[in-house]
């Protein structure tokens, strides 16, 4: 039986993968997530998704497994918005994206450890933010300190109140694991979700 391993410690990605009702394990890939010089957001998330899957694959000694790697960055005004980490940075991020559209780039990679085949893709999702007052930002971050989320907001929770509209091909890409594309990748490996 082929093991499925999610190369992530993210509770959000884990919760998303549970939606597919597959048995899987998780493993934390210890990789350097810094960007390279002149690397586009698309190149960055695709490289990191592959790097995460590969890092876990190297620990398995040719065990039959499918390893899922994923990475995400948010981009506004051609600048990558990282995870803010604290209240001050989150406040600055939300002020900077007020009234603007943020592109969330999510890299996805599925590694077959036996064939050594990588399936990699990048899925974009777009969030148009409302014009946010200082009071709205302060109230939001008090109720939901989204310091570990790119762009300082969680669309699956109160962060939805910050948005005017969201659009793209796969809403789960916004949360960090594009399930539509992942289902297709798994089916290519003869793992049928349905």
Note the pTM of the prediction, 2 decimals. 0.91
Question: Is residue 139 predicted with pLDDT exceeding 80?
Answer: yes
* 160: confidence class by pLDDT, cuts 50, 70, 90: very high
User: How far is Cα 176 from Cα 105, in angstroms, rounded to an integer?
Assistant: 9
pLDDT digits (tens, 9 = 90+) for 11-52: 889 999 999 999 999 999 989 888 888 999 999 999 999 999
The answer, yes or no, to whether residue 61 has pLDDT greater than 90, is no
Q: Is 64 marked active-site?
A: no
- The pLDDT, as a whole number, for residue 2 is 86
Where does the pLDDT of residue 154 fall: very low under 50, low under 70, confident under 90, or very high at 90 and above? Answer: confident
pLDDT for the residue numbered 180: 97
Please, are residues 106 and 75 in contact by the beta-carbon 8 Å criterion? no
Retrieve residue 57's tokens: 């694959």
Average pLDDT over residues 154-182: 94
Catalytic option among 30, 71, 77, 170: 71
pLDDT tens by residue, 169-191: 999 999 999 999 999 999 999 99
Q: Which candidate, 20, 116, 109, places its Cα nearest to that of 64?
A: 116
For the chain, report the end-to-end CA distance as a whole number of angstroms.
17
Instruction: Give the DSSP H/E element, type plus range, for residue 164.
Output: strand 163-168
Pick the CATH number of 3-188 from 3.30.9.10, 3.90.950.10, 3.40.50.300, 3.20.20.140: 3.90.950.10
Q: Where are the domains of the chain?
A: 3-188
CA–CA gap between residue 62 and residue 60 (Å, rounded)? 6
């Amino acid at each position: 039986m082929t093991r499925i391993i999610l190369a992530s410690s993210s509770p959000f990605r884990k919760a998303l993968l549970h939606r597919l009702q597959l048995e899987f394990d998780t493993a934390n890939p210890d990789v350097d997530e810094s960007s390279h010089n002149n690397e586009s957001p698309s190149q960055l998330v695709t490289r990191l998704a592959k790097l995460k899957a590969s890092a876990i694959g190297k620990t398995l000694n040719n065990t039959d497994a499918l390893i899922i790697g994923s990475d995400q960055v948010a981009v506004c005004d051609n600048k990558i918005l990282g995870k803010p980490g604290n209240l001050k940075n989150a406040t600055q991020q939300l002020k900077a994206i007020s009234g603007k559209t943020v592109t969330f780039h999510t890299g996805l990679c599925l590694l077959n450890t036996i064939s050594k085949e990588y399936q990699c893709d990048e899925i974009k999702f777009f969030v148009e933010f409302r014009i946010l007052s200082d009071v709205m930002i302060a109230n939001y971050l008090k109720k939901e300190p989204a310091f570990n989320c790119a762009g300082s907001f969680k669309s699956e929770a109160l962060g939805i109140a910050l948005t005017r509209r969201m659009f793209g091909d796969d809403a789960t890409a916004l949360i960090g694991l594009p399930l539509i594309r992942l289902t297709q990748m798994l089916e290519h490996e003869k793992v049928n979700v349905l």
